[in-house]
């Protein structure tokens, strides 16, 4: 006689899903970091709701790309750099690591630029605020375990909800919002192309691919229980890009209609005035700095995970310092260099953030090609290889980003 197997209740299943939320949500939320907020604010203030169609596109593309990276980690138990080295050899690995290091250093510098901009908006001296935050981030990485750091980062992810609330307080024309989301309007000028690439580069990031796959491996996810991790990845991408869309909606509805083009933090903070009034600067600065601290830990980790994987060195936040000296040494070096760079007098902080994301997008196609080859290798993936529609979408996205990058170079010359 068969026993009746009781299915878990809906509430129990809900808590089970929440329990595994982590790598995907952190990776996507970290995309709404300081350079992300700066990019979306500048795009919304200059072009109104025009970029919402692009958010829809990169949301779909981001889900597929992040899911591929997570699946690679769950099936193989290896990070992206490990697989690149095994499949393509040392020369390609060195090239890929150089591209990643270039992109990640630029973005990590942008995170500390966000910390500096937020501090100055609050009337604090960047030469005091940046060193304090960099030391705090370094201590979290060196002394905290992966699970402790992950919980902290998940809490910090909640800071961006202010933009969602602001949009409903402002009450924009939702018909215009919807039309902009489904009907692209492209302008062939270099500033527009730079903003397009920056939007792509802050949403689908090279570091995000490396970090997510390494996090899935570090978390011990296997193919058999991959389903919940896939839920995490999809939910994270949807959540992160929903916030991105609301930043554009909020700045479009408040700044674009007034002809205010965001170039610095105090202008971007005006978008939150309908919600926070005189407290808008404080709210914006808190959100900017909170998101920056989140990504200032994620970005160096992504860099160091990838490089130590590529060369087979011990890695992981759960490793003791004496067992992984290169991992922790590189982590501190990236944090230290990035924070010191931001202290150079006279740097245009918001412009640095925008250009760092543009560089991300221009490097992204190289990584997408490598990921696509790995995800279709049956020796590596077995039955978990990409489906045909996944390949079609990935190729389409790679071609689009490559074409936009070439268009920018053409317009520059």
In a domain, 109, yes or no: yes
pLDDT at 1 over 80: no
- Residue 312: per-residue pLDDT: 80
Q: What is the mean pLDDT of residues 189-203?
A: 89
Residue with more model confidence, 25 or 54? 54
Contacts of 408 (CB under 8 A, 6+ apart): 190, 193, 194, 197, 358, 362
Residue with more model confidence, 218 or 112? 112
Q: What is the mean pLDDT of residues 257-279?
A: 86
Q: What is the mean pLDDT of residues 27-50?
A: 85
**How does pLDDT run across 343-394, given as a tens digit for each residue?**
999 888 888 888 898 999 999 999 999 999 999 999 999 999 999 999 999 8
In a domain, 160, yes or no: yes
Angle, helices 34-47/349-375, rounded to nearest 10 degrees: 110
Count the alpha carbons within 13 Å of 40 in the hemisphere toward its beta carbon.
Answer: 30
Confidence of residue 338 (pLDDT cuts 50, 70, 90): very high
Please give the residue range of the domain that contains residue 266: 29-412
pLDDT at 5 over 50: no
Confidence of residue 153 (pLDDT cuts 50, 70, 90): low
In a domain, 11, yes or no: no
Considering only 104-118, 266-280, 382-396, which range has the smallest mean pLDDT?
Answer: 266-280
**How does pLDDT run across 74-89, given as a tens digit for each residue?**
999 998 988 999 999 9
Q: What is the mean pLDDT of residues 25-35?
A: 73
In a domain, 24, yes or no: no
Please provide the size of the chain in residues.
413
Instruction: To the nearest 10°, report the CA torsion of 169, 171, 172, 173.
Output: 170
- Residue 122: per-residue pLDDT: 87
Considering only 21-25, 341-345, 380-384, 397-401, which range has the smallest mean pLDDT?
Answer: 21-25
Scored b (16 or more CB within 10 A) or e, 197-212 reads bbbbbbbbbbbbbbbb
pLDDT at 70 over 90: yes
Q: What is the mean pLDDT of residues 238-265?
A: 91
pLDDT at 101 over 80: yes
Residue with more model confidence, 407 or 317? 407
Q: What is the mean pLDDT of residues 57-70?
A: 92
In a domain, 20, yes or no: no
Contact 228, 20 (CB under 8 A): yes
The predicted model scores a pTM of 0.85
User: Closest Cα partner for 50 from 153, 179, 146?
Assistant: 179
**How does pLDDT run across 112-131, given as a tens digit for each residue?**
999 999 899 888 999 999 99
- Residue 48: per-residue pLDDT: 94
Q: SS3 letters for the chain?
A: CCCCCCCCCHHHHHHHHHHHCCHHHHHHHHCCCHHHHHHHHHHHHHHHHHHHHHHHHHHHHHHHHHHHHHHHHHHHCCCHHHHHHHHHCHHHHHHHHHHHHHHHHHHHHHHHHHHHHHHHHCCCCHHHHHHHHHHHHHHHHHHCCHHHHHHHHHHHHHHHHHHHHHHHHHCCCHHHHHHHHHCCCCCCCHHHHHHHHHHHHHHCCHHHHHHHHHHHHHCCCCHHHHHHHHHHHHHHHHHHHHHHHHHHHHHHHHCHHHCCCCCCHHHHHHHHHHHHHHHHHHHHHHHHHHHHHHHHHHHHHHHHHHHHHHCCCCCCCCCCCCCCHHHHHHHHHHHHHHHHHHCCCCCCHHHHHHHHHHHHHHHHHHHHHHHHHHHCCHHHHHHHCCCHHHHHHHHHHHHHHHHHHHHHHHHHC
In a domain, 6, yes or no: no
Would you state the structure tokens that stand for residue 219, as one six-digit string?
């978390």
- Residue 173: per-residue pLDDT: 92
Q: Which domain CATH number covers 282? A: 1.20.1740.10
Considering only 71-85, 234-248, 282-296, which range has the smallest mean pLDDT?
Answer: 282-296
In a domain, 13, yes or no: no
Q: What is the mean pLDDT of residues 38-61?
A: 93
Q: What is the mean pLDDT of residues 41-47?
A: 94
Confidence of residue 4 (pLDDT cuts 50, 70, 90): very low
In a domain, 269, yes or no: yes
Count of structural domains, the chain: 1
Q: Percent of the chain scored above 70 by pLDDT?
A: 89
The radius of gyration of the chain's CA atoms, rounded to the nearest angstrom, is: 21
């Amino acid at each position: 006689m068969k026993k009746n197997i009781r299915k878990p209740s809906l509430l129990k299943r809900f808590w089970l899903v929440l329990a595994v939320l982590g790598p995907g949500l952190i990776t996507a939320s970290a995309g709404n970091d300081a350079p992300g907020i700066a990019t979306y604010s500048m795009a919304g203030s200059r072009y109104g709701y025009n970029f919402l169609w692009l958010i829809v596109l990169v949301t779909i593309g981001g889900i597929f790309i992040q899911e591929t990276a997570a699946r690679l980690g769950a099936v193989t138990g290896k990070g992206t750099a490990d697989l690149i080295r095994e499949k393509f050899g040392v020369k390609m690995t060195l090239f890929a690591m150089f591209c990643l290091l270039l992109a990640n250093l630029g973005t990590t510098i942008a995170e500390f630029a966000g910390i500096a901009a937020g501090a100055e908006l609050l009337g604090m001296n960047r030469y005091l605020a940046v060193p304090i935050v960099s030391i705090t981030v370094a201590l979290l990485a060196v002394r905290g375990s992966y699970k402790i750091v992950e919980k902290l980062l998940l809490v910090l992810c909640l800071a961006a909800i202010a933009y969602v609330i602001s949009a409903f307080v402002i009450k924009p024309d939702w018909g215009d919002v919807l039309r902009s989301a489904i009907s692209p309007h492209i302008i062939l000028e270099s500033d527009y192309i730079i903003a397009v690439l920056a939007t792509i580069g802050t949403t689908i990031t090279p570091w995000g691919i490396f970090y997510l796959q390494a996090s899935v491996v570090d978390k011990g996810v296997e193919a058999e229980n991959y389903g919940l991790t896939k839920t995490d990845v999809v939910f994270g991408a949807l959540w992160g890009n929903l916030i991105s869309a609301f930043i554009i909606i909020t700045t479009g509805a408040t700044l674009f209609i007034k002809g205010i083009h965001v170039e610095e933090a105090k202008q971007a903070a005006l978008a939150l005035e309908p919600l926070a009034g005189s407290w808008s600067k404080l709210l914006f600065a808190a959100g900017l700095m909170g998101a920056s601290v989140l990504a200032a830990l994620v970005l160096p980790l992504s860099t160091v995970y990838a490089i130590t994987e590529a060369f087979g060195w011990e890695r992981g936040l759960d490793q003791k310092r004496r067992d992984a000296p290169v991992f922790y040494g590189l982590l501190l070096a990236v944090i230290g260099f990035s924070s010191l760079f931001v202290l150079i007098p006279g740097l245009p902080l918001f412009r640095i953030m925008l250009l760092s994301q543009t560089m991300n997008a221009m490097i992204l196609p190289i990584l997408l090609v490598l990921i696509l080859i790995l995800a279709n290798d049956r020796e590596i993936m077995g039955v978990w290889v990409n489906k045909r529609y996944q390949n079609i979408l990935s190729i389409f996205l790679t071609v689009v980003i490559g074409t936009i990058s070439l268009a920018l170079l053409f317009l520059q010359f």
